[in-house]
Structure 1
């Protein structure tokens, strides 16, 4: 049975103090979640550039980097399923990243799409795959596994019929690099996420789940803008995706809705999504 987890980034506005963080994690437990996915930049002092870019994207940050996360996690009873880190830090100070995983008793480090990176540049993507293999090898020497987490940028074409994600999948060594698949973003990019999960197979170690739809009341125009939704309230075939993830042995299914929360509350949002998680995961 996969761990049911929530990504820390969803919780960023309700973890500004140790008291609020502890209360939020207890609400997670009460809702049926038994895991959390951490972000390195949220459990340490946040670089100014990260704070600025996050705010520019319309997603305010809390002050969770000031908290004692080792103590908070120990008290929460939640399992840390992985930690998101950046590729540069892994290549520069792998020993610090490895030590971080030991602190939180996890085995997965996850990196996400590169900032200001041209995923339509085939040579740049090939260079990225080489760095991923190198980073994965460095981590493996310390008993840690590297996973790559997608957004929608990886589904740009590097040549007719081939996306950057295709290239990453083909050119990374499964011994050193595997995947945390997020089905929301390929769906947003017009890609068949279920088919992609089948292609990943057992290289898909963790699964990020979210739904996609609209939250509009009353009369509307003929074209609506889709956004993140609570599980089961959008139009994605999440039941089939969860079954596929379980078929290939994913170790955790991780909820992350972005900012379009019901009642503008990340807590209410994960409580509503818990009904689906508890029933199908």
Structure 2
């Protein structure tokens, strides 16, 4: 059965010190999750600028860079499903990334897209595919698998019939580069998530799950509503179909990553509500 996990980016506001962090991880375990997905910039000391930028985006990273995450995760009875890293860090410090992943007991490192990057430029995207192949080759030599995580930027057209995501899929070596598919972002971009999942097939090793809808606290000012992240089952995405496909190709983990639009403005309350869907549907379909 696929591991049910939570992405660490949700937890910056509830991991202010090691005591609170352990309480948060214990609460995640109690809700029925089995694991956590960590981020390099949250488990190592980060610059003030990075902390400010993520806080402004509504997802504060906190000051957990000095915590003993391996011990905290183990105490809570969770497992690390993967570590998110940026491509530059993997290229510059591959030995550090490999050692860190192994210390956490995971064989997966995930690249979460590129910053200040033109996904509409074909040559630029093709170079990225080559860089991913090289990084994947380096990691594979030490038993670590490289995965690529999408947002919505990869669905920009580079040709009349192809997106950047198409190019990355077609020009990366299946033996060196897999995918952590996030179904929220293609849906947000107007792309069929289920079609992409079927195209990825067994190259999809991890699945990021979220729901998309509208939360209102009163009457709407206009007849047009803005969609945002929602707890699982409370939005309009066909999550059962998506989970079924993910399990069909034997993904190793299904990972919750909701954004700042949390119920009661609480990431913990939000992940607990989403766990009802995770526990019911994933167990039921496995």
If the TM-score is normalised by the length of the shorter chain, which range does it land in? over 0.9
Question: Per the alignment, in what secondary structure is the counterpart of residue 157 of structure 1?
Answer: coil
Give per-residue Cα distances to partners, 1:198-247, cap 9 Å, x unaligned. 00000000000000001013321110110000000000000000000000
Question: Per the alignment, in what secondary structure is the counterpart of residue 180 of structure 2?
Answer: strand
- Equivalent positions of 1:94-133 (< 5 A) are 94-133=94-133
* Contact 2:9-2:59 at 8 Å conserved across structures: no
Q: What is the aligned partner in structure 2 of residue 254 from structure 1?
A: 255
Deviation at 1:76, TM superposition (A): 1.4
Question: Per the alignment, in what secondary structure is the counterpart of residue 241 of structure 1?
Answer: helix
Question: Per the alignment, in what secondary structure is the counterpart of residue 277 of structure 2?
Answer: helix
Matched, 1:223 2:229: no
Question: Per the alignment, in what secondary structure is the counterpart of residue 96 of structure 1?
Answer: helix
Q: What is the aligned partner in structure 2 of residue 80 from structure 1?
A: 80
The aligned length equals: 281
- Equivalent positions of 1:174-189 (< 5 A) are 174-189=174-189
CA RMSD of aligned residues (A): 0.9
- TM-score normalised by the chain length of structure 1: 0.98
Deviation at 1:48, TM superposition (A): 3.4
Give per-residue Cα distances to partners, 1:175-216, cap 9 Å, x unaligned. 110000000000000000001000000000000000000101
Deviation at 1:19, TM superposition (A): 0.6
- TM-score normalised by the chain length of structure 2: 0.96
Report the Cα distance in structure 2 between the residues aligned to 1:95 and 1:60, rounded to whole angstroms. Answer: 28
Question: Per the alignment, in what secondary structure is the counterpart of residue 158 of structure 2?
Answer: strand
Report the Cα distance in structure 2 between the residues aligned to 1:247 and 1:134, rounded to whole angstroms. Answer: 29
Deviation at 1:49, TM superposition (A): 3.7
* Contact 2:184-2:209 at 8 Å conserved across structures: yes
Question: Per the alignment, in what secondary structure is the counterpart of residue 159 of structure 1?
Answer: coil
Deviation at 1:257, TM superposition (A): 0.5
Report the Cα distance in structure 1 between the residues aligned to 2:51 and 2:28, rounded to whole angstroms. Answer: 25
Structure 1, 90-99 or 149-158: larger mean CA deviation: 90-99
Deviation at 1:6, TM superposition (A): 0.2
Question: Per the alignment, in what secondary structure is the counterpart of residue 228 of structure 1?
Answer: strand
Deviation at 1:61, TM superposition (A): 2.9
Question: Per the alignment, in what secondary structure is the counterpart of residue 60 of structure 1?
Answer: coil
Q: What is the aligned partner in structure 2 of residue 193 from structure 1?
A: 193
* Contact 1:209-1:255 at 8 Å conserved across structures: yes
Give per-residue Cα distances to partners, 1:100-158, cap 9 Å, x unaligned. 01110000000011011000000100010010000000000111000000000000000
Report the Cα distance in structure 2 between the residues aligned to 1:250 and 1:39, rounded to whole angstroms. Answer: 20
* Contact 1:41-1:47 at 8 Å conserved across structures: no
Gaps of 5+ in 2: none
